[in-house]
Amino acid sequence: MHRRLKVEGHGRLPLEVALMTLVNSAPACPNVLQLVEWFDSPDHYSMILERPVPCQDLQSFCEENSGLDESLAKKVLLQLITALKHCESRGVLHRDVKPQNLLISTDSHNIKLLDFGCGDLLKDSAYRSFEGTPQYAPPEWFRRRRYHAGPATVWSVGVTLYKILCGRLPFRTASRVTSKTILNFPRELSTECRQLISWCLSVAAADRPSLDDIEHHPWLH
């Protein structure tokens, strides 16, 4: 049975539909994919989603173009931060930020965040269950089986930024990351870019930047 959530004016909705309804309510964010319609059945639900044309998921786009250069990565990151801050403002935690869950327009390079199937309502207290992709989960989840929304999101942003620039994940497994783990970068990456990624991938959650900090980082300006 799918978890359901009551949304004012919409009744009880499947959690994923409810989260998309919250983030899509006006004024909508151009960097979040729109839910066009959904249908309920006794044992499942179906969603009709916006499909920008031409577009592909960011993972495939990076593979076909041998990664992104720093200029395009900056454009992608700024739009991702806009999308995530919008989700926060609507009380929604995405919880599965990764290149596969970002659509990129192949002509304008505009970005849209999709797939709220692992999401939850935003809260200040710790989450004690994980939904999402383990390779993008923060080290505190593996160490203490708990994490907070902000630092966990920023960790996944750091992994995503590394992946689209370097073509690989920063760590073989986040479960073994410690303060002594060395983060290796390709020689061509700028110092400011390396510093931002390293900051996002701070092992201690308290040492990571906020989304606002990332948005105002010198690398993006």
What are the beta bridge partners of residue 121? 92
What is the chain's pLDDT, residue by residue, as a tens digit (221 residues)? 578 888 887 888 999 999 999 999 999 999 999 999 989 888 888 999 998 889 999 999 999 998 899 999 999 999 999 999 999 999 999 999 999 999 999 999 999 999 999 999 999 999 999 999 999 999 999 999 999 999 999 999 999 999 999 999 998 777 777 777 888 888 889 999 999 999 999 999 999 999 999 999 999 99
Asked if 65 and 115 touch (Cβ cutoff 8 Å), the reply is no
* Residue 103, strand partner residues: 57, 112
Would you state the pLDDT for residue 88? 97
Helix, strand, coil shares of the chain, percent, nearest 5, are 40, 15, 45
Given this model, what pLDDT does residue 1 score?
A: 55
**Of 96, 107, 124, 213, catalytic:** 96
Place of tokens 């269950």: 129
Q: How far apart are CA 93 and CA 87, in angstroms?
A: 7
Judged on CB neighbours under 10 Å (0-12, 13-18, 19+), 66 is exposed
What are the DSSP calls for 159-192, one per residue? HHHHHHHHSS-SSS-GGG--TTPPPP--TTS-HH
Alpha-carbon distance of 119 to 15, in angstroms, equals 8
Buried b (16+ CB within 10 A) or exposed e, 48-63: eeeebeebebbbebbe
What structural domains and CATH numbers belong to the chain?
A: 4-49 (no CATH), 55-220 (1.10.510.10)
Query: 156 to each of 19, 38, 87, 138, 195, how far by Cα in Å?
Result: 19, 29, 15, 7, 16
Distances (CA, A) of 215 to 4, 18, 156, 183: 34, 28, 15, 22
Distance CA 219, CA 194 (A): 9
Question: Does the annotation mark 96 as catalytic?
Answer: yes
Instruction: Indicate the DSSP class of residue 135.
Output: G
Whole-number pLDDT of residue 182: 82
